[in-house]
Amino acid sequence: MKKGQIEIVGLMMVVILLVAVLLIALWFIAKPKSDILTPQRAGIEVKSVLLTLMKTTYEPGAGEEDFKDKIIECIEDGNCGASGGVEKKIEDVLNSFFRNKEYVLVIKRVTTPPVSVPDISIIGGPNTAGRDFLDNPCSPQNNIINPGTIMLQTVPPKIEATLTLCSLTV
């Protein structure tokens, strides 16, 4: 081989290596980023909303009673739906938090064996009217984001609240 041919072969090898490096770099750049912390962040957000809801004053200007106290009171009385519209007020607050997202709030007594019917159950968001949420709280086109659960009362009767937020995947 002549000296010029060897230089051309060497130059072609350098060009091929550069193209290979560029293709690998483009593959990594174009690959969708998956953040492993996103579900944990969403779970923290849901739990924060739930904690905020429970600390919110039930009726501003009418005393210092918050949603947590009102919920415990209505569960102990056994008439949450009729007790001053607790469910409706909770639903209004959650609708302001989650404008276009589906959510499910279940508040129930913690018993042994577990109770299957919750004391308070609220489902909200678009296209949720008349849906049964106990099996799968999210509609088929949505996924469950990590639910947040807090204990409202740790002395008997123990009461827990679980808020499940659904994320639109379409």
Q: pLDDT averaged over the chain?
A: 78
User: What's the confidence (pLDDT) of residue 116?
Assistant: 67
Q: Is the pLDDT of residue 84 over 70?
A: no
> Which stretch of 7-16, 47-56, 82-91, 159-168 has the lowest confidence by average pLDDT?
82-91
Distance CA 69, CA 63 (A): 12
H-type alpha helices, the chain? 3-30, 38-55, 67-77, 86-97
User: What's the confidence (pLDDT) of residue 170?
Assistant: 40
Q: Are 126 and 20 in contact (CB under 8 A)?
A: no
- 167 Cβ contact list (under 8 Å, min separation 6): 42, 101, 142, 143, 144, 145
pLDDT (tens digit, 9 = 90+) per residue, 95-110?
A: 888 877 788 888 888 8
Q: pTM for the whole thing?
A: 0.66
CA nearest to 165, candidates 125, 129, 130, 131: 125
User: What's the confidence (pLDDT) of residue 16?
Assistant: 96
> Which stretch of 25-39, 64-78, 132-146 has the lowest confidence by average pLDDT?
132-146
> Which stretch of 1-15, 22-36, 88-102, 121-135 has the lowest confidence by average pLDDT?
121-135
User: What's the confidence (pLDDT) of residue 41?
Assistant: 76
Of 64 and 82, the structure prediction assigns the larger pLDDT to 64
Instruction: Please give the single-letter amino acid code of residue 153.
Output: Q
Q: Is the pLDDT of residue 7 over 50?
A: yes
